[in-house]
Structure 1
Amino acid sequence: MKKPELNITPFVDIMLVLLAILMVSVTMSTYQEKSVNLPEGSKTTPAVKKASINIVITKDLKVFVNKQEFSLNDFLENFNLKYGNFNKNALVYIAADKNIRYEYFMKVYAAVVKTGFTQIGLLTK
């Protein structure tokens, strides 16, 4: 009399297929875009625009702050004096020519941070 053999290969195949289906369905439900019904905004109250400071560094190391021109050394010395009392929650945007040395950009960035501004954006193309 032969001993009965237990063949678990079909069982393992089925379990692997179920595991793959489970992994795909969980991923799809997690990353599926949710629809949100947003409330209407007030049409009588205009939005308040935050003040912003725009800094542009040109390839010849001229620094423009809201269209006012500085040399790099003048900027580093005078930014804190001119904008030290400005609202520290203001948005500061820095745009630099791609051909300037990184250290010059970092000097301008450090001067802005040292003055106390925390919302600093770097502009790119």
Structure 2
Amino acid sequence: MNFRKRNQPEEPEINLIPFIDVLLVILIFLMLTTTYSRLTELKINLPTANAKSADSRPRELLVLVTADGRYVVNQRLLEGRSVDVLAAALSRSAGADKTIVVISADAAATHQSVINVMDAARRVGLTQLTFATQGQADSAP
């Protein structure tokens, strides 16, 4: 009989059973918590009505700024170029609270003249401003 100890170490093994158990638990968790969208399966026909459409468009106040810094409020040329004159004209022309000031400035107009319109609108209490632009013409090659 040979009772000597072996000098060779045992080779390590990777036990895959706990790994498989964890993966199965994660798979079950994902299957239970996944939500499925059924919006693509629904076909909806919206109802129709013959009612008159309501005019929900707010009142617009058109302010034109010329290249040399003059102002036109609702097709009336203003005599002065100061913010006070512009604020007075906006106050006279503004009606309801939902009045939108449409600023249509010339491309060569100075920034200061556009800022004056914005400042005058703020002084009067008109907080809704928008700028009118025109699209660029498509150039043929």
The residue that corresponds to 1:81 in the other structure is 88
Shift of 1:40: 4.1
CA drift of 1:41 comes to: 6.8
Pair 38,53 (structure 1): closer, same or farther in 2 beyond 3 Å = farther
Q: CA deviation at 1:53?
A: 0.4
Residue segments in structure 2 that go unaligned for 5+ positions in a row: 1-9, 21-36, 38-43, 135-141
Q: Do 1:57 and 1:97's aligned partners in 2 also have CA atoms closer than 8 Å? A: yes
Question: RMSD over aligned Cα, in angstroms?
Answer: 3.3
Shift in CA distance, 91/72, structure 1 to aligned 2, threshold 3 Å: same
Pair 1:112-2:121 in alignment: yes
Which digits, 9 at most, give the CA deviation of each residue in 1:77-118, with x for residues without a partner?
A: 333333426323211100112222212211111011111001
Shift of 1:50: 2.5
- What is the distance in 2 between the residues matched to 1:120 and 1:36? 38
Q: Which residue of structure 2 aligns with residue 47 of structure 1?
A: 55
CA distance in 1, matches of 2:112, 2:58: 29
Q: Which moved more, 1:82-91 or 1:48-57?
A: 82-91
After superposition, the C-alpha distances for 1:48-77 in whole angstroms (9 at most, x for unaligned) are 543210011011212111111125525x23
* Corresponding residue pairs, total: 100
Given candidates 93, 100, 122, the residue that maps to 1:91 is: 100
Deviation at 1:120, TM superposition (A): 1.1
Question: If you compute each CA radius of gyration, which structure gives the higher value, 1 or 2?
Answer: 2
The structure where helix makes up a greater share of residues is 1
8 Å CA contact 1:61–1:72 kept in 2: the answer is no
**5+ unaligned residues in a row in structure 1: which ranges?**
12-28, 30-34
d(CA) in 2 for partners of 1:36 and 1:70? Answer: 54
**TM-score normalised by structure 2 residue count:** 0.54
Answering whether residue 63 of structure 2 is matched by residue 58 of structure 1, we say no
The 1:40/1:105 distance shift into structure 2, 3 A limit, reads same
